[in-house]
Amino acid sequence: MHAIATRGLTKVYKNLTKGNKRSLDELSIHIREGEVFGFLGHNGAGKTTTIKILCGLVRQSAGEASLFGIDVRDPASRAKLGYLPEQPYFYEYLTPRETIEFYGRLRGRTPQQRAEDWERLSLLLDLRDIAEQRIKGFSKGMRQRIGFAVALVGDPPLLILDEPMSGLDPVGRRSIRQLILRCRDEGKTLFFSSHVLGDVEQICDRVSILSRGKLVREGRIGQLLGEEPHGVEVVATGLNEVSRAPIAAAAREHRTHEGQDVFVFDEAAAAQEAARAILDSGAALESVTPLKQSLEEFFMKEHGATAAGAGA
Ligand SMILES: Nc1ncnc2c1ncn2[C@@H]1O[C@H](COP(=O)(O)OP(=O)(O)O)[C@@H](O)[C@H]1O
Ligand SMILES: [Mg+2]
């Protein structure tokens, strides 16, 4: 069973003056139990909309979504869910200790369990020094730690975090990353959104990239980061017309650059064959290089492409 599953999930926000807005378009994703899953996309891509549907805060226009096999329209689906909103709201005159206590009561925790929650969470999130201070006046980083603690009240096995690192300084970002890994080590499933690649690269098992409401890419991080090559480039000098033609025909791409022939092949075997043909023809083989595309390049290209597409 999947911790999170969506099929054809669609959200159209209705607006009489500006017209309807399709913010999420047929999203299908599956997150396995125990996975750290990064949900990437630029601002306005539809990440928060998706998360709000999963948490039961917004109703989808079409499609299905479930948590541990229970439809998100059923409140029972949220029994195992901890949620950190994009902009967590706190009662400014409560202290961190009172806030955790308050959410413990909401979650139906017994007094004994609430005391245990505070022991565990205040230590994990380093809240002890500020336990009795009012939240009013706390920095973004401190608020984010309290928000994370609130999400962990009752020790839920699934955490959905909306941009947990945005607005934090590098130290704050790192501490949230460490918390995510720590939760993973405890066997939890983590689903978090981000518009910053660096946040997901280091800690996610898989990511999906959302652009203008549509899923544009999904996969293991190694694959998207380019640890697995996206082709092999072969460079030669001194090729004559006759030997060049069959090599170019077998290649995915061929261009000439400063007197060199540059070929790109999908498969390593085809690249090796081309290298042999180049040597056999008496030309010089300059290099054979696996091509890697970083997620950053992909992300930028994807965004550029959609922005250009929208402008046309
Ligand atoms: N309540 C709403 N009413 C109308 N449009 C909305 C509403 N919430 C979000 N949107 C629009 O839906 C799109 C996706 O927004 P959102 O899900 O917040 O994206 P992200 O979290 O990826 O930045 C945006 O164009 C946004 O303006
Ligand atoms: Mg958002």
Chain segment 41-60, per-residue pLDDT in tens: 888 999 999 999 999 999 99
Amino acid occupying residue 171: V
Torsion of CA 65, 69, 74, 79, to 10 degrees: -120
DSSP 75-107: GGGGGGEEEE-SS----TTS-HHHHHHHHHHHT
**What pLDDT digit, counting tens, does each position of 270-287 carry?**
999 999 999 999 999 999
What CA–CA distance (Å, rounded) separates 134 from 155? Answer: 24
**Residues 72-121: tens digit of each pLDDT:** 999 999 999 999 999 999 999 999 999 999 999 999 999 999 999 999 99
Q: Is the pLDDT of residue 306 over 60?
A: no
Mean pLDDT to the nearest integer, 256-270: 91
Nearest atom in ligand 1 to 24's CA = 14
Ligand 1 lined by 166 (C-beta under 6 Å): no
The position carrying tokens 């099929």 is: 7
- In angstroms, rounded to a whole number, what is the distance separating the alpha carbons of residues 101 and 116? 10
For 205, the 3-state DSSP assignment is coil
Output the residue whose Cα is nearest ligand 1's atom 4. Answer: 13
At 207 the pLDDT is 92
Residue with tokens 């999400």: 151
Per cent of the chain over pLDDT 90 is 72
- CA 20 – ligand 2 centroid, Å: 19
Is 90 exceeded by the pLDDT of residue 312? no
Domain with CATH 3.40.50.300 in the chain: 2-225
> Is residue 48 in contact with ligand 1, taking CB distance under 6 Å?
yes
Q: Which whole-number Å values give the CA distances from 126 to 121, 148, 190, 254, 262, in the listed order?
A: 8, 11, 21, 57, 55
CATH code for 2-225?
3.40.50.300
Ligand 1 mutation pick, 9, 16, 23, 161, max ligand atoms within 8 A of CB: 23
Reported confidence tier of residue 294, pLDDT bands at 50, 70, 90: low
Q: Give the distance (Å) from ligand 1 centre to CA of residue 184.
A: 29
Closest C-alpha residue for ligand 1 atom 18: 48
**Is the CB of 168 inside a 6 Å radius of any atom of ligand 1?**
no
Structure confidence at residue 311 as a pLDDT band (50, 70, 90): very low
Q: For the chain, where do the domains classified as CATH 3.30.70 start and end? A: 232-290
Q: What is the model's pLDDT at position 308?
A: 39
Best probe residue, ligand 1, of 9, 10, 13, 24 (max atoms within 8 Å of C-beta): 13
Distance from the CA of 191 to the center of ligand 1, in angstroms?
19
Mean pLDDT within 126-155: 94
Q: What is the pLDDT of residues 190-243, one digit of tens each?
A: 999 998 877 888 899 899 999 899 998 888 877 776 655 678 899 999 999 999
| 49 C-beta closer than 6 A to ligand 1 | yes
Topology of 232-290 in CATH?
Answer: Alpha-Beta Plaits (3.30.70)
289 pLDDT more than 90? no
pLDDT band with cut points at 50, 70 and 90 for residue 299: low
Measure CA 68 to chain center: 20
Taking all residues of the chain, what is their mean pLDDT, rounded to a whole number?
90
Atom of ligand 1 nearest to the CA of 45: 22
Higher local confidence (pLDDT), 6 or 289: 6
Per-residue pLDDT reduced to its tens digit, 115-138: 999 999 999 999 999 999 999 999
